[in-house]
A and B are shown apart, each in its own frame.
Chain A
Amino acid sequence: MLVQNFGGFTPSLPGIDIRFPSPEHLAHFEIAWSRQARPPLPDDHPDRLGLICVGTVVEHELRHFHDFLLNRDMLLTSWLRRRMSLNALPAIVWLMKSEAFDVIPYPIINWARLPERARAVRRAELGPILPEDRRRFWNPRMLPARITAPKTAIVDPPRTEAEAEEMIRTGLKAVRGDLATIAPLRYGLDNTPLGEGRFTPRFAFELSALNVQFHSVIKTYGFDEGREFLSMLADQGTTYSQLFIEAMDLFTGARRSDAARREPIHLPRLNAVATWIMTGCAEDGTKGGPATRLATLMDQARAAWDSVFPDGLSSAALMDHWDERTGAVPFRQSLERTQKELENHLAAARMLFGAFAKEAAHQLEAVSTYDAVLKCRRALIDTVIADPLTYVDPSLWMENLGNWPQCPVHMKFSAGRFGLPRAHFANYPDDTRYNLSSAVPPDYADSHVGDAYLRSFFPSLHDIPSAPVIKHQQINLLFELLVEPESVRPIDAMALRDFAETSWGKTLVQLL
């Protein structure tokens, strides 16, 4: 398996994570990041491919951020998840502080939907594994099977148990409504001809980011290293990277062995595919989704190559051709329509929460974060609409990454138990924040750094402020555990359980 998984992009923040397994990986990354020299890459280095991956992780993760801005489904999902957490937050705070029960089963919506008889069965199963004096389960009024999402804001703290019950009920209804809206945007396709398993939108996003990273490897290190990178993806890679190799073989008209024979691979077609699949809008329905678009183009290219890739078309003309061929909204219009759709969502939220400006300060702060997201999107789509090739062609996109929108970056150092010496960070930007989530013991926190939060990789006119992202990151995890635990890593789930137990005396029990 591929072990060089150094980064991640989290749309619900939005923000980038970079993980460094050793000081050497960090040093290599910093040289590549500074763009001042080719990072040293010894032929006999035991982790040569790891260094190549960490040296190009900036491009990979920034492309995820930019595709997130470009793509309607991912951006809308991100906003709806934020709205869910805003609606759920007052209920979660009350649940944690209530003295009426000790045990909170989650996902909380699944528990609230169970009739009393089914809850009794689960209590009988779970009771014996809990301490005898801590078996008082939260027992809300059953949530009906069919609900209408409420249209009022949930901002006032409840004054009585009855008010709290009603507030939780309203919050859960709102969350459930948004979960239902999000599901088709995230689900993808089942068991396509592309392989067994679920073909989620992530396949499309990884294809785009790996394509950019491949270009970056060639630019940073050279063609030989580009071939090495492809070989690694083909031989050791993940399901995502194998799909990328398959798509590269298909869309470039090349076979994998061509790379080893030093024959040129024709990449512009793949570049156009990687961008076009991101440009659907609401009016496109399911055919607007990135996974559906990728699967469709792969199927059609296998069946009738020439009709998918007629000779002599530029990248933008190819994208127009696919819009016409699939009956989709032309991509320039589509990008504008999505902007309008998302602006309408924010305007509605601003109006709703603005009526309670004092009580809804936290909610309004989240709306402001998304205002910044949409400003970044505006800047990005203006460029894409005016000159698509600047985005489609990774070489042009990489020329000056600081011209593109930026988002916060969380760098995590697991080298050594106590992180890295503070002196190492003397030249980092002044507004960098340190040790927000690392395990560096308090005694060492003054002298060592376990994690660093940067405002962005590069200064830019368009970026997402980091303070609300950091704040939301901490709240978001608890929300995710209680509402959608399958998205939470076991290590985080365990930490949150411990926190709930020690801070609020609540036992969190997962329903499976």
Chain B
Amino acid sequence: MTVRISILGEKAAIDALKADLVESGLMPDADDRQASAAEVERLGFDIGVVVEILGGLVTTAKAVDLARKFLKAAALGRSKVIEVKGPTGARTIKLDGKTEAEVEAEILKALPFLK
């Protein structure tokens, strides 16, 4: 079973994250697109070129695995900010200087169905 989620971030990080999510099978149908005008207005200041991943996340995914992937992808980008949205939660996660456990806790706030 999957639930559609959205992940927004800087292009370099998002490209890497999308490939990782698809390859690992956590988001088999991941698609990406340029952020909407409203998202660019809101996030462009902090993130730069904003790209969004949209797709169904398998509900058996572990938040800690996602956290690891977020941190790995962010290392490739200039911006260390990622925004995660699920149907019932949303979180802007500043990854700079955060541990896996801290990022995992943030992800669980955005995607409580992973509990």
Contacts and interface: CB of A to CB of B under 8 A. Distances in A.
A186 interface: yes
Nearest to A182: B37
Contacts of A494: 89-91, 109
Interface residues of B, number: 40
Given A125-B4, A190-B34, A490 B110 contact: yes
Nearest to A238: B45
A28 B48 CA distance: 29
Interface in B7-52: 11, 34-42, 44-46, 48-50
Contacts of B4: 125, 511-512
Contacts of A507: 88
Task: Please report whether the interface of chain B is mostly helix, strand, loop or mixed according to DSSP.
Answer: mixed
Interface stretch (A162-170, A196-204, A307-315, A362-370): A196-204
B101 interface: no
Given A197-B50, A512-B6, A186 B85 contact: no
B5 interface: yes
Contact of B40 (A197, A490, A509): A197
Contacts of B87: 126, 129, 509-512
Contacts of B112: 129
Interface string A276-298: 00000000000000000000000
A1 B74 CA distance: 13
Contacts of A512: 4-6, 54, 85-87
Contacts of A195: 49
A5 B37 contact: no
Nearest to A497: B88
Interface stretch (A49-57, A151-159, A381-389, A481-489): A481-489
Interface in A488-512: 489-491, 493-494, 497, 507, 509-512
B49 A486 contact: no
A493 B49 contact: no
B90 A197 contact: no
Sorting the interface of chain A by its residue count into under 10, 10 to 19, 20 to 34 or 35 or more gives 35 or more
Contact of A186 (B37, B46, B89, B92): B37
B83 interface: yes
Contacts of B59: 128-129
B79 A198 contact: no
A489 B35 CA distance: 14
A487 to B, nearest CB: 4
A7 to B, nearest CB: 11
B68 to A, nearest CB: 21
A239 interface: yes
Contact of B1 (A128, A130, A197): A128
A238 B44 CA distance: 8
Given A197-B50, A238-B46, A129 B35 contact: no
In this complex, the member of A1, A130, A497, A511 whose beta carbon has the largest number of chain B beta carbons within 10 angstroms is: A1
Q: Which of B34, B48, B109 lies at the interface centre, i.e. has the most chain A CB atoms within 10 A of its CB?
A: B48
B47 to A, nearest CB: 8
A486 B40 CA distance: 9
Given A5-B45, A202-B41, A487-B42, A197 B34 contact: yes
Given A490-B85, A490-B92, A125 B46 contact: no
Nearest to B35: A198
Contacts of A200: 37, 40-41, 44
Interface string A156-191: 000000000000000000000000000100111010
Contact of B45 (A128, A183, A240, A489): A240
Contact of B38 (A128, A238, A487): A487
B3 interface: yes
Nearest to B2: A125
A5 B46 contact: yes
A352 to B, nearest CB: 27
B61 to A, nearest CB: 13
Contacts of B62: none
A277 to B, nearest CB: 17
Contact of A487 (B34, B41, B86): B41
A4 to B, nearest CB: 11
Given A486-B39, A490-B110, 9 more contacts: A129-B87, A129-B113, A196-B49, A197-B11, A202-B44, A494-B90, A510-B85, A510-B86, A510-B88
16 contacts: A128-B1, A196-B11, A197-B44, A198-B34, A200-B41, A202-B41, A486-B39, A487-B38, A487-B41, A490-B91, A490-B92, A493-B90, A494-B90, A494-B109, A510-B87, A511-B87
